[in-house]
Structures are given as structure tokens and as C-alpha cells.
């Protein structure tokens, strides 16, 4: 992995740590000037747990949660969030709930679907959507559409990083924002100033990681 990666720690909890890399990168929806590596908070259980604590705290006393839809490999964070929200020793609105952790399936065209065996965990349920990072909001909007289609209610949206404050009228609860990365920029591919300056794309990046070109 690139040695230029730099740690960025949350002021809310330093164990909720991501890594950043400056450059010219392409995602499926945009070109960005900063790659955000989520490996630590997605994979290492201590960091996942501490990240989940920060996110769960946003909903403990305000929101009833029945199901967490985990986008792009955030299942471990979602599981720790459910543990926090359902903790019987707290005054959480979700205390004692057997919260479902659901990962959607993606169709070739990007459409999100839930198979018959998990649809019951969406229908008539209060669903929290969890994403690793949100830049354009397109993936989250697809998730919202899917939850509504299968009869659920979206009770919240959260992420480790988001450059967007609201999606479909719902506030995005996040650990890192554009204030933590003031130089972060995302562009439509045909409007990317780095491309116009002739700077080559260094890597393709997505929820699975980073692949140099």
C-alpha cells in the first residue's frame, strides 16, 4: 500500500481512525482528490467497536432501530452498533431489540435488492442505513429507495465520512466531515479540473479499496 497514507483520528474518539491519501482518483461516480482508506475501521475489531460507539451515540436516546442496512462491508461496525443500541443497561430506545444486520445485494445496474429471506427484516421496520463514506449520495439514495420499496421506514443515515449533510431530507450522522478534510473535493468525471490539467488518474478506488493504474 502507498507509503503516503496519513492517519486521521476522530476528535470524538481517536480509535475511530481512517487514513487519507492525496492524489487523483476515480470512483464509479466521480473523480476525487483524496482517497479515504477505511480498512482500519472496517476490519480491526477494536477500531470497529470504537467507531460503532461514536455512531450509535447519535441514535441511542432519539431513534428506535429495528434493522441496520450495512453498505459496502460495514457489517462489523453495524453489529457493534446494534450491540450498543440494544444494550439493556442503557436507556436506549432500542434496548432489548434483536436488531437485524442486513447487507443488500447489488444488481448489475447498481440497483439494490433484498432476497426473500431477509425482506421480513425490512418490512414494517425502522431501518438505519450505514455507509463507510458518502460523497455524491447516490448509493445511499438507492438504499433508501430499496428500503421503501420493501416496506420499511428509513429512520436514519450514518457514515464514517460524509461530505453531504442531508440526503432526502434526512440528516447524515457522521464521524468525519469536510471540516476534517477541508481540501477534499469530488467532481463529476467530465468536470474534473485535474483531468483538464492533464494529471493522470493514479488509482481506481471503491469500497473494497485501492488499485493503482
Per DSSP, which regions of 10-58 are E strands?
17-26, 31-37
Reported as a single tens digit per residue, the pLDDT across 32-48 is: 999 999 888 999 999 99
Angle, alpha carbons 72-158-190 (nearest 5°) = 60
At a CB cut-off of 8 Å and minimum separation 6, what does 104 contact? Answer: 69, 71, 112, 113, 114, 143, 146
Q: What is d(CA 101, CA 196) in angstroms, rounded to the nearest whole number?
A: 43
CA neighbor of 18 nearest in space, from 27, 44, 28 = 44
Query: Integer distance in angstroms from the first to the last C-alpha of the chain?
Result: 13
Class of domain 6-212: alpha beta
Q: 154 forms bridges with which residues in the sheet?
A: 127
Angle, alpha carbons 30-7-23 (nearest 5°) = 35
Residue the block writes with cell 450495512? 70
CA neighbor of 163 nearest in space, from 148, 143, 185 = 185
pLDDT per residue rounded down to tens, the chain (213 residues)? 567 788 888 888 888 889 999 999 998 888 999 999 988 899 999 999 999 999 999 999 999 999 999 999 999 999 999 999 999 988 999 999 999 999 998 887 778 889 999 999 999 999 999 999 898 888 899 999 999 999 999 999 999 999 899 999 999 999 999 889 888 888 999 999 999 999 999 999 987 788 888
pTM for the model stands at: 0.89
Domain boundaries, the chain: 6-212
CA 62 to chain centre: 20
Amino acid at each position: 500500500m502507498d507509503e503516503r497514507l496519513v492517519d486521521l483520528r476522530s476528535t470524538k474518539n481517536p480509535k475511530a481512525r481512517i487514513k487519507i491519501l492525496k492524489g487523483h482518483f476515480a470512483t464509479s461516480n466521480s473523480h476525487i482528490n483524496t482517497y479515504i482508506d477505511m480498512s482500519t475501521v472496517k476490519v480491526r475489531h477494536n477500531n470497529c467497536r470504537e467507531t460503532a460507539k461514536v455512531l450509535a451515540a447519535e441514535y441511542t436516546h432519539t431513534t428506535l432501530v429495528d434493522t441496520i442496512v450495512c453498505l459496502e462491508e460495514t457489517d462489523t461496525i453495524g453489529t457493534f452498533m446494534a450491540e450498543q443500541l440494544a444494550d439493556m443497561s442503557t436507556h436506549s430506545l432500542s434496548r432489548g431489540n434483536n436488531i437485524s444486520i442486513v447487507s443488500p445485494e447489488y444488481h448489475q445496474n447498481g440497483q439494490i435488492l433484498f432476497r426473500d429471506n431477509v425482506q421480513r427484516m425490512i418490512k414494517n421496520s425502522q431501518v438505519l442505513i450505514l455507509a463507510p463514506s458518502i460523497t455524491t449520495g447516490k448509493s445511499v439514495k438507492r438504499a433508501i429507495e430499496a428500503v421503501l420499496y420493501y416496506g420499511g421506514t428509513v429512520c436514519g443515515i450514518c457514515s464514517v465520512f460524509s461530505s453531504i449533510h442531508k440526503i432526502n431530507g434526512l440528516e447524515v450522522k457522521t464521524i468525519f466531515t469536510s471540516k476534517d478534510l477541508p481540501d477534499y473535493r469530488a467532481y463529476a468525471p467530465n468536470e474534473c479540473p485535474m483531468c483538464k490539467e492533464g494529471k493522470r488518474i493514479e488509482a481506481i478506488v471503491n469500497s473494497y479499496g485501492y488499485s493503482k493504474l
